[in-house]
Amino acid sequence: EAGVVQSPRYKIIEKKQPVAFWCNPISGHNTLYWYLQNLGQGPELLIRYENEEAVDDSQLPKDRFSAERLKGVDSTLKIQPAELGDSAVYLCASSLSRSGRSSYNEQFFGPGTRLTVL
Amino acid sequence: GENVEQHPSTLSVQEGDSAVIKCTYSDSASNYFPWYKQELGKGPQLIIDIRSNVGEKKDQRIAVTLNKTAKHFSLHITETQPEDSAVYFCAATRYSSASKIIFGSGTRLSIRP
């Protein structure tokens, strides 16, 4: 079974330019997450989708970041305009969440996109 | 909100020796503590987890312990091997599909041959 797919794996851009990252979750996984991982730090949640609905975007800097998951499958995270401080790894993860069940649903992470802003 | 602190940030051990990574958490409502391993160029991968109603859990060479009173939990790797070299993250959350995972800052483990 294929894991979480992310592209591109690496991206170098100049500041003030736009950039977009794409994620395809594990087939059948209804929950999708975008994380930011700064160098030497653990991942921090940016946004979580349940199907096509963004249910937790409290940590997403909405002035420059946007995300979409139009058909409830793959997702795109965009930054416009990028700033020097946005240089980091952007991780996508997915899980299978079952409604009405109190349980932890294991998140499976993709390899990430390493963004360098010059 | 939850805050997870992890120590040490780097750890180097001789192959065959044991490695211990320690974490503390702040939110007494957290009841689920997963550990992740991240190899170079890959995303984090769940390697073991523990719930707050259990004090210890073991899976082959890795074990986790939890002291709920002190809000401490630890990862123990015995008989370390070269393939154990990676960055390890502890995390804390509530055992609910809607809860956010809070990660520690990571420990870079190096195994010396």
- Supply the pLDDT for residue B100: 86
- On whether the CB atoms of residues A36 and A112 are closer than 8 A, the answer is no
Cβ–Cβ below 8 Å for A40 and B95: no
CB within 8 Å: B41 and A43: no
Q: What is the mean pLDDT of chain A?
A: 93
Contact (CB<8Å) B43/A98: no
Q: How many helices (H) and strands (E) does chain A have?
A: 0, 11
Which residues are bridge partners to A66 per DSSP? A78
Mark yes or no for CB contact A106/B46 under 8 Å.
yes
Mean pLDDT for A31-43 is 95
Tokens standing for residue A84: 């020097």
- C-alpha distance from B89 to closest chain A C-alpha (Å): 7
Q: Which stretches in chain B have pLDDT values below 70?
A: 97-98
Give the pair of three-digit tokens for residue B83: 């393939």
Please give the residue that has the higher pLDDT: either A51 or A99. A51
Q: Is A40 left (phi over 0), alpha (psi -120 to 50) or beta?
A: left
Residue B102 Cα, gap to closest chain A Cα (Å) = 7
Is B49 in Cβ contact with A44 (below 8 Å)?
Answer: no
Q: Which residues of chain B lie closer than 8 angstroms to A43, CB-CB?
A: 44, 89, 103
How far apart CA A19 and CA B10 sit, in angstroms, is 33
Nearest to A109 among B43, B93, B104 (CB): B43
- Given its phi and psi angles, is residue B10 left (phi above 0), alpha (psi -120 to 50 degrees) or beta? beta
pLDDT of residue B10: 98
User: Is the Cβ pair A102, B95 closer than 8 Å?
Assistant: yes
Residue whose structure tokens are 């395809």 = A24
Find the closest chain A residue to B92 by CA distance. A104
Choice between A59 and A100, residue whose per-residue pLDDT is larger: A59
